[in-house]
A and B are shown apart, each in its own frame.
Chain A
Amino acid sequence: MNDNPVFERIQREIDGQPVVLFMKGTPVFPQCGFSAAVVQALTLLGVQFKGVDVLADPQLREGVKAFSDWPTIPQLYVKSEFVGGCDIVREMYENGELRQVFADKGISTQEPAAA
């Protein structure tokens, strides 16, 4: 499995930024409701992240599934660690765990002040 050339590129992506989201489309124009839901959770928490559009590269799209042992997109990585897909991120956002993960890893969140 490690001889897959795209794995090196994926490793570089997740090591290059604290928060990396492999998604369909871009953070501004998500091409899939599940990717959009994760973008929204990260945006609501005010977390800076890098979106990697897997639709731009079929090798990356299949490669990241093998790399993470996870068959679906989106996939969220924090500090090079796989956090989960849409269901998990959504649940962790709703119960406050996601914010805790960012806090524990020293990643700043800037939630909008309650109106």
Chain B
Amino acid sequence: MSVAASMHAKLTDVFEPVHLAVVDESRLHAGHVGARPEGETHFRVEIVATAFDGISRVERQRMVYRVLKDELGDRVHALALRTLSPSENS
């Protein structure tokens, strides 16, 4: 399974998001520190879930980081995050 697919699956499992996009932006960072020729190092994740209701921004990102701990520790060099509750997304 690709890194993107595995992140997508884990986030779907834990957060049951109403919207989730895992975008591989590695090509934009080719040649930068942390980039690899095979890609899948730089991601952007947008996630909208009721689990974020009433949770601070910092804590929301911590929740996502915890779920993606394995990916962040190993393959993924950069992860840009946008975490919203459904009411903020309207």
A-side residues, CB < 8 A to B, are 31-34, 69-72, 82-88, 91
Contacts and interface: CB of A to CB of B under 8 A. Distances in A.
A52 B80 CA distance: 22
B61 interface: yes
Interface in B19-35: 29, 32-33
A84 B57 contact: yes
A34 B77 CA distance: 11
Nearest to B81: A87
B57 A72 contact: no
Contacts of B65: 70-72
A79 B5 CA distance: 40
Contacts of B10: none
A71 B72 contact: yes
A70 B57 contact: no
For the complex of A and B, 3 pairs with smallest distance between CB atoms: A88-B57, A71-B65, A87-B81
Given A69-B62, A71-B65, A87 B82 contact: yes
